[in-house]
Structure 1
Amino acid sequence: MSTSNTLYVDLDGSLIATDLLHESTLKLLRVSPRSLLDLPKWLMQGKARLKREIASRVDIDVTTLPYRNEVVQFVRDAKASGRRTVLVTASDRQFAQGVAQHLGLFDDVIASDGLANISGARKLQAINADAEGQAFCYLGDHAVDLDVWRGADSAAVVSRSSSLLRRASSATRVEAHIEPPAVPIKRYLYAMRVHQWLKNILVFLPLLPVLHELTASVVGHALLAFVAFGLMASGIYVLNDLLDLESDRKHKRKRFRPFASGEIPVRTGVMMCLGLCGGSLLLSVLLINLPFLCVLIAYMLLTTAYSFFLKRRAIVDVFSLASLYTIRVVAGAAATGLPLSLWILSFSLFIFLSLALAKRYVELSGTPAEVMQMARDRNYHLSDVPLVLAGGVAAGQMAALLLCLYLQDQQMLERYAQPHALWILVPVFLFWIMRIWLKAVRHALHDDPVVFAARDWVSRLSVGIAAVAFWFAG
Structure 2
Amino acid sequence: MDAQSDNKAMDLVVDLDGTLIATDLLWESTFQLLKQNMFYIFLLPVWALRGKGYLKHQISLRVAIDPAILPYRGEFIAYLREEHGKGRRLVLATGAARRFAESIAAHLGVFDAVYATDEIRNLTSTHKTKFLLETFGDAKFAYAGNSKADVPVFNAASEAIVVAPDRAAAKWQRVHSARLFEAPKTSWKAFFKMLRVHQWMKNTLIFVPAILNHEITVLPVLVNAIIAFFAFSAAASAIYIINDLFDLPLDRQHARKRNRAFASGVFSIPFGLKVAIGLLILAGLLAAQLHWTFAAVLVLYLIATTAYSLSLKRMLLIDVLTLAGLYTLRILAGSAANQIEGSFWLLAFSSFFFLSLALVKRYVELQNTTLVEKNRIAGRGYRQADREVVAQCGVASAFAAATVLALYVNSDAVVSLYSYPWLIWPLCPIVLYLNIRIWILAHRGEMHDDPVVFIISDWRSQIVIAIGAALLLYGGMRS
1:299–1:324 CA contact under 8 A, matched in 2: yes
Q: Which residue of structure 1 aligns with residue 191 of structure 2? A: 188
1:163/1:56 Cα in 2 relative to 1: closer, same or farther (>3 Å)?
A: closer
Shift of 1:375: 2.8
Q: Which residue of structure 1 aligns with residue 395 of structure 2? A: 393
| Secondary structure of the structure 1 residue equivalent to 2:300 | helix
Residue type of the partner of 1:407?
V
Shift of 1:275: 1.6
Following the alignment from structure 2 to structure 1, what is the Cα–Cα distance between the partners of residues 153 and 338? 60
| Secondary structure of the structure 2 residue equivalent to 1:150 | helix
Residue type of the partner of 1:376?
A
Q: Which residue of structure 2 aligns with residue 103 of structure 1? A: 108
Q: Which residue of structure 2 aligns with residue 113 of structure 1? A: 118
Following the alignment from structure 2 to structure 1, what is the Cα–Cα distance between the partners of residues 58 and 401? 50
Question: Does residue 1:23 correspond to 2:28, yes or no?
Answer: yes
1:162/1:358 Cα in 2 relative to 1: closer, same or farther (>3 Å)?
A: closer
Q: Which residue of structure 2 aligns with residue 330 of structure 1? A: 332
**Identity %, equivalent residues:** 40
Q: Which residue of structure 1 aligns with residue 209 of structure 2? A: 206
Q: Which residue of structure 1 aligns with residue 148 of structure 2? A: 143
Question: Which structure 2 residues correspond to residues 146-157 of structure 1 after superposition, within 5 A?
Answer: 146-157=151-162
Of residues 299, 304, 307, the one that matches 2:306 is 304
Question: Does residue 1:231 correspond to 2:214, yes or no?
Answer: no
Q: Which residue of structure 2 aligns with residue 353 of structure 1? A: 355
Shift of 1:374: 4.9
Q: Which residue of structure 2 aligns with residue 441 of structure 1? A: 443
Question: Which structure 2 residues correspond to residues 13-412 of structure 1 after superposition, within 5 A?
Answer: 13-160=18-165, 164-168=169-173, 174=178, 176-211=179-214, 214-285=217-288, 287-368=289-370, 374-412=376-414
Q: Which deviates further from its counterpart, 177-186 or 12-21?
A: 177-186
1:82/1:436 Cα in 2 relative to 1: closer, same or farther (>3 Å)?
A: same
Following the alignment from structure 1 to structure 2, what is the Cα–Cα distance between the partners of residues 325 and 359? 14
Shift of 1:213: 7.4
Following the alignment from structure 1 to structure 2, what is the Cα–Cα distance between the partners of residues 169 and 288? 51
2:92–2:114 CA contact under 8 A, matched in 1: yes
1:69/1:371 Cα in 2 relative to 1: closer, same or farther (>3 Å)?
A: farther
1:372/1:458 Cα in 2 relative to 1: closer, same or farther (>3 Å)?
A: farther
Shift of 1:208: 2.7
Following the alignment from structure 1 to structure 2, what is the Cα–Cα distance between the partners of residues 122 and 213? 63
Following the alignment from structure 2 to structure 1, what is the Cα–Cα distance between the partners of residues 434 and 130? 67
2:366–2:383 CA contact under 8 A, matched in 1: yes
1:350–1:399 CA contact under 8 A, matched in 2: yes
Residue type of the partner of 1:75?
L
| Secondary structure of the structure 2 residue equivalent to 1:338 | coil
Shift of 1:24: 0.3
Gaps of 5+ in 2: none
Residue type of the partner of 1:177?
L
* Cα deviations by residue, 1:83-133 (Å, 9 ceiling, x for unpaired): 111000001100000000000010000000110000111101221232232
Following the alignment from structure 2 to structure 1, what is the Cα–Cα distance between the partners of residues 221 and 177? 65
Following the alignment from structure 1 to structure 2, what is the Cα–Cα distance between the partners of residues 448 and 128? 54
Following the alignment from structure 1 to structure 2, what is the Cα–Cα distance between the partners of residues 381 and 330? 33
Following the alignment from structure 2 to structure 1, what is the Cα–Cα distance between the partners of residues 132 and 258? 35
Following the alignment from structure 1 to structure 2, what is the Cα–Cα distance between the partners of residues 179 and 396? 50
2:376–2:384 CA contact under 8 A, matched in 1: no
Following the alignment from structure 1 to structure 2, what is the Cα–Cα distance between the partners of residues 291 and 141? 48
| Secondary structure of the structure 2 residue equivalent to 1:376 | coil
Residue type of the partner of 2:30?
T
1:461/1:376 Cα in 2 relative to 1: closer, same or farther (>3 Å)?
A: same
1:265/1:78 Cα in 2 relative to 1: closer, same or farther (>3 Å)?
A: same
Shift of 1:163: 5.9
2:11–2:91 CA contact under 8 A, matched in 1: yes
Following the alignment from structure 2 to structure 1, what is the Cα–Cα distance between the partners of residues 166 and 396? 56
Shift of 1:192: 0.8
TM-score (norm: length of structure 2): 0.95
Number of residue equivalences: 471
Following the alignment from structure 2 to structure 1, what is the Cα–Cα distance between the partners of residues 303 and 215? 35
Gaps of 5+ in 1: none
2:353–2:401 CA contact under 8 A, matched in 1: yes
Shift of 1:210: 2.4
Q: Which residue of structure 2 aligns with residue 457 of structure 1? A: 459
2:294–2:337 CA contact under 8 A, matched in 1: yes
Shift of 1:166: 4.4
| Secondary structure of the structure 2 residue equivalent to 1:377 | coil
Give the root-mean-square deviation of aligned CA atoms: 1.7
Shift of 1:371: 8.7
2:148–2:168 CA contact under 8 A, matched in 1: no
| Secondary structure of the structure 1 residue equivalent to 2:123 | coil
1:80/1:294 Cα in 2 relative to 1: closer, same or farther (>3 Å)?
A: same
1:372/1:219 Cα in 2 relative to 1: closer, same or farther (>3 Å)?
A: farther
TM-score (norm: length of structure 1): 0.96
